[in-house]
Structure 1
Amino acid sequence: MRPTFSIVISKMNIFAVTLLLFTVANVFQSSESMELNCKFQIYGYFISIPIGWKIFYTCYGELSNERNSTIITEVHGDHLSGRNNSDVTGIILEKETLLTSIPLNFDKFFPNINILYMVDTKTSTIRASQLLQFPNLMYLLLSYNEIETIEVNAFSSTPSLQGIHLNSNKIKSIPYNAFRPLHLEVLQMNNNICINDSADTVQNVNRLIVVADLLCSPLGDMIDEDLRVRIYELSNSQVAFEYSLKDLRDQVSTMEERMQELENILKLVKTHVNK
């Protein structure tokens, strides 16, 4: 006859197990979530010299319960009179030194974000999944972080982007044509590992994208300094050529307009002579 074992679970044991599970659940939840404390204000952002200053109703945010996994679960703060979360179009996060990525879930609270300003964090990668929550984003200002890479198709869900600031990061590589789907007016990438340049006109942005495709490609490490200088010289020559070509086209257009005016005058003269 086999021995039988009986397990007696006392109320104390049940309480201990329940408490343990509750503690584990809380630890897990806290590692997956954070709170955002907002100081709501009207804030001006300087985008570039041609664009100038842009004004947005902004959450100047401070994060609590920072963890590697950053999901915003609560937002606190008092709005300015007559405003609510739907009026918020800007977010500022500064000096969040434990933050390693763009937090998720902003769109749950602020569905109309046009500008994200995030500096002095440990963010290392720009991912498509992080930007998916900002379908109306116009300006992405991520200077002075630790960004090394940009994910393929990172900007596929932000077609309205007009300006990107990535100055003073650690960018080593950029996927080919990463910026091509966009219609950028400003692209700043000064003081990075693979590139040190910026552009604040559409023509210069197109030039800079070509340079980035070369210098920040997987073969970028094989390009020596002399060749890098030559690439910049050629790109600048191309810009100068394009400006000259545009100026020539403008002159031709002006001449055509004047010729048309002369033709109209001649027609009037002939009409009076025939009378």
Structure 2
Amino acid sequence: VFRLLSTLTLLLTLRYTFSIAITCKFGYQDWVVIGNVYTCDVKNLDNREILANVTEIEGTHLDEKTNSDVRKININLQMCQFLPFGFEKFFPNIEGLRIAHSNLVSLTQSDISVFPKLRSVDIFNNNLKWLDADVFEKNPEIEYLYFGDNQIKSIGYDALKPLKKLKHAVFHYNVCLKKNAIGEEEIQALQEIMNQNCDPGHKTIATEKKRINELEVERTYQKQKIKELEEIVKVEDSQIMWMLWIFIPLLVLGILAAVYFYRNRSPYQTNSILLPRSNGIDIERLENETNDTNGYSSGATNLI
């Protein structure tokens, strides 16, 4: 039990140190590729912390809808320098992610790989300066990319190569790239331009990128630690439940036995229990004298 309490304390510390509650306005919105889908339109978000962890979703669903029905997350005109982790725990079926006009400075593989069904990524008018080569590696279902109006100077080599289903890519109004592509041939040409113009080792952003990557490692560790602690809690909670299943029936049987013996004790035992011995007084002699007195009084009454 002590170990379980210690684990729970550590889990709660990690989970809630940078906890964040997300407020959603739920409704239907029309999006490229995925169509008119049930959406969480995020409101009142102010996140400048890379370790932010989503611990609660607030908002009222439309009739008969649940978190599992949400297909897109829309973060527009908010403060979201880093995408909080933990959305996937509440919204497991996300197909579209949009972050627009929200000062986003980093988007990494770990941010989007938690959404394996992702088909549309729209990161418009933010402060992105680079994309790593592996950013899309674990999201092969992506069909649409929109990274227009950012500050991108660096893109990892062949970053678009894992996206075999990609149909439309928009990268206009960036530092190293000002081009869009529709269809397989144009996308291949766009990839070649990226490899030529968007140096993945751009010196002006190396220091900032290193800092973000170090924080990213810390975030990955925190996520893994939370997951491990949750598993420990599940196992130990299960063990405690088994102990309770054994202990509680024994406790009930003990209480029933005590009640049974209490109800079936003799009157003499009752008096002996209820009348304490104190100051050297012989309780039994006192009882006998009381009985004799009562007998004498009864006899005198009869004679009268």
Q: TM exceeds 0.5?
A: yes
Counterpart residue number, 2:86: 105
Counterpart residue number, 1:206: 188
Which residue of the other structure, out of 163, 166, 189, is the alignment partner of 2:171? 189
Give 3-state SS (helix, strand or coil) of 1:34's partner: strand
Give the stretch that moved more between structures: 202-211 or 56-65.
56-65
Closer, same or farther in 2 for the Cα pair 1:64/1:172, shift >3 Å?
closer
Q: Equivalences for 1:1-275 in 2 at 5 Å?
A: 32-45=18-31, 47=32, 54-64=35-45, 66-68=47-49, 69-97=51-79, 99-183=80-164, 184-218=166-200
Identity %: 26
Q: What is the CA-CA distance between 1:125 and the residue it aligns to? A: 2.1
**1:34·1:70 contact (CA, 8 Å) conserved in 2?**
yes
Closer, same or farther in 2 for the Cα pair 1:65/1:193, shift >3 Å?
closer
What is the one-letter code of the residue matched to 2:168?
V
- Alignment root-mean-square deviation, CA: 2.3
Closer, same or farther in 2 for the Cα pair 1:67/1:30, shift >3 Å?
farther
Give 3-state SS (helix, strand or coil) of 2:188's partner: helix
What is the one-letter code of the residue matched to 1:180?
K
Structure 1 length normalisation: TM-score?
0.64
Q: Distance in 1 between matches of 2:110 and 2:59?
A: 27
Q: Map Cα deviations across residues 221-244 of structure 1 (whole Å, 9 max, x no partner).
A: 9xxxxxxxxxxxxxxxxxxxxxxx
Q: Which has the larger radius of gyration?
A: 2
Q: What is the CA-CA distance between 1:143 and the residue it aligns to? A: 0.9
**2:16·2:53 contact (CA, 8 Å) conserved in 1?**
no
Q: Map Cα deviations across residues 198-249 of structure 1 (whole Å, 9 max, x no partner).
A: 112222111111111111124889xxxxxxxxxxxxxxxxxxxxxxxxxxxx
Counterpart residue number, 2:248: none
Q: Distance in 2 between matches of 1:122 and 1:139?
A: 20
**1:35·1:63 contact (CA, 8 Å) conserved in 2?**
no
Give 3-state SS (helix, strand or coil) of 2:47's partner: coil
TM superposition outliers: structure 1 runs of 4+ over 2 Å: 28-31, 63-67, 217-221
Bigger fraction of residues in helix? 2
Closer, same or farther in 2 for the Cα pair 1:220/1:34, shift >3 Å?
closer
Q: What is the CA-CA distance between 1:169 and the residue it aligns to? A: 0.2
Structure 2 length normalisation: TM-score?
0.58
**2:148·2:173 contact (CA, 8 Å) conserved in 1?**
yes
Give 3-state SS (helix, strand or coil) of 1:81's partner: coil
Closer, same or farther in 2 for the Cα pair 1:187/1:30, shift >3 Å?
same
Counterpart residue number, 1:17: none
Q: Distance in 2 between matches of 1:78 and 1:135?
A: 26
**1:187·1:199 contact (CA, 8 Å) conserved in 2?**
yes
Query: How many residue pairs get matched?
Result: 191
Q: Distance in 2 between matches of 1:191 and 1:65?
A: 26
Flag the structure with more relative contact order, 1 or 2, with Cα contacts below 8 A and sequence separation at least 6. Answer: 2
Q: What is the CA-CA distance between 1:124 and the residue it aligns to? A: 1.6
Closer, same or farther in 2 for the Cα pair 1:122/1:206, shift >3 Å?
same
Q: What is the CA-CA distance between 1:78 and the residue it aligns to? A: 1.2
Give 3-state SS (helix, strand or coil) of 1:212's partner: helix
Closer, same or farther in 2 for the Cα pair 1:33/1:67, shift >3 Å?
farther
